[in-house]
Homo-oligomer: A and B are copies of this chain.
Amino acid sequence: MAKQEHIIIIGAGLCGSLLGLRLAQRGYKVDLYESRPDLRTTDISAGRSINLALSDRGIKAMKLVGIENKVEPLCIPMYGRLIHDTEGNTFSSNYSGRDGEYINSISRGGLNGLLLDEAEQHENVTLHFNKKCTGVDIENNTAHFKCYESKEEFSVTGDVVFGTDGAGSSLRKSYYLEKKFLFSYSQNYLTHGYKELEIPADSNGKHLISKDHLHIWPRGQYMLIALPNLDGSFTVTLFLSYDEGEYNFNNLTTIEKVTEFFKTQFPDALELIPDLDKEFFGNPTGALGTVKCSPWQYKGNTLLMGDAAHAIVPFYGQGMNASFEDVVVFDSIMDQHSGDWNATFKAYEKIRKVDTDAIADLAIDNYYEMRDHVANPIFKEKRKLEMDLEKTFPTEYFSKYSMVTFNENINYAKAMKIGRAQDKALLNMIADKEIDTTENLNNILKQVQQHTNEILEEDKVAGLK
């Protein structure tokens, strides 16, 4: 760099604050603008998901900026799903057959606060809160803001502008509205929304149910999940249709109906949520949407990253991890294009978009899997077999979930392609009783690999590749 280039980042959430920190570490001068108040000093969690799942792709990003040791104390390891039936019985389903593979429940606010601390401590970073981006002049790298405190409007011009301003990105809106290029764009909502509730800690500040699991109450048309928090509580999320089925957000209008719904569907959970009334009617109903778009960049001036480029539904626990991985991938691309932003941005999208599209689709797959299939006998037999295969062949067999979640060196698109074929092979072999579980696992592994390869080959021929 001849001179120190000046970078503007719109949005200091999880992705923006990590990106700002990393670019500062690389020597750039970074100004980070955030529309909300500083979350380290204000409670602004209302309605947003309070905790998230951090896994290997995200941890790799923490290592890139050197803060993995500070992140670890914020983590609660979850080793598998604990599935609750309508009788209150539970059974567990591990995430992996290998030791040391687990996902982590982590507070969004806690992690974002740590990233802001780290960014703020870097001499190259300046943080600006309460500054709402009102639009971006994408020809001139100029972002327009309004200050929520002073009510003043102002503009800032940088060498480049990054939009890490989430699913409702103002930079992306400028791409859409300015019509300077053909902008492929999609926003797709599920028929279901979500509502957050809480299982508080017991009187000793301990967790009332296993904190080593992600809890699921799968009921086909609706689903409840719960992730543990460090303070002994659980954040519970209800996924429910807006207007379909016997129970939905539109017709659950009284506490009597809500209680009846929980009593018949989630009786064990009902006993653990004392403030159901207040929370159900006080907390907002969130929408579940997927956003895809292309191009992410314009003329090497501006670039979308994180949820601004690819918002996904939460069912694979990969939203944050994918956004963090964006920064890792972008960082590696920067090494190859020595300061040429246009070339860097193009190369980044070319390599990255196929993977963010894949995780978006995988997350939709998992929505149906978690809601409808985790309690299905064939699915359960498949999961059990996969655990055995992973345990016995830890370097040879990887389930789709393991590839996506624990193998940061397999990209999402490859994990999706191979994982879907492998799932299809396993489910069909189980359904057709082609797998004899008394047979030695070595033979079963070979059978599964062979059938998976046949499926991949048939797909390839059908695509005439």
Give how many copies assemble into the complex.
2
Tell whether A1 is near chain B: CB-to-CB under 8 Å: no
* CA distance in complex: A450, B412 (Å): 34
The answer to whether B287 touches A423 (Cβ under 8 A) is: no
A 321-364 binary contact with B (CB < 8 Å = 1; else 0): 00000000000000000000000000000000000000000000
Tell whether A182 is near chain B: CB-to-CB under 8 Å: yes
Complex: chain B residue closest to A189, CB-CB: B182
Residues of chain B lying within 8 A (CB to CB) of residue A242: 182
A 173-185 binary contact with B (CB < 8 Å = 1; else 0): 0000000001111
Complex: chain B residue closest to A463, CB-CB: B368
- With beta carbons under 8 angstroms apart, the residue of B424, B458, B459, B462 that contacts A462 is B424
Given contacts A424-B458, A428-B458, contact A464 B182 (CB under 8 A): no
Tell whether A90 is near chain B: CB-to-CB under 8 Å: no
Complex: chain B residue closest to A185, CB-CB: B187
- With beta carbons under 8 angstroms apart, the residue of B186, B462, B464 that contacts A187 is B186
The size class of the interface chain A forms with chain B is 20 to 34
**Stretch in A78-86, A200-208, A370-378 with 4+ CB within 8 Å of B:** A370-378
Tell whether A461 is near chain B: CB-to-CB under 8 Å: yes
Complex: chain B residue closest to A188, CB-CB: B184
A 254-293 binary contact with B (CB < 8 Å = 1; else 0): 0000000000000000000000000000000001010010
Minimal beta-carbon separation of A291 from chain B (angstroms): 10
Tell whether A238 is near chain B: CB-to-CB under 8 Å: no
The answer to whether B287 touches A182 (Cβ under 8 A) is: yes
* CA distance in complex: A455, B424 (Å): 11
The answer to whether B186 touches A427 (Cβ under 8 A) is: no
* CA distance in complex: A287, B424 (Å): 37
* CA distance in complex: A189, B175 (Å): 14
* CA distance in complex: A378, B463 (Å): 11
* CA distance in complex: A184, B291 (Å): 10
Residues of chain B lying within 8 A (CB to CB) of residue A464: 372-373, 376, 378-379, 427
Q: Return 9 A-B CB contacts under 8 Å, by A number.
A: A186-B187, A186-B188, A186-B292, A373-B464, A378-B464, A424-B461, A424-B462, A427-B462, A431-B461
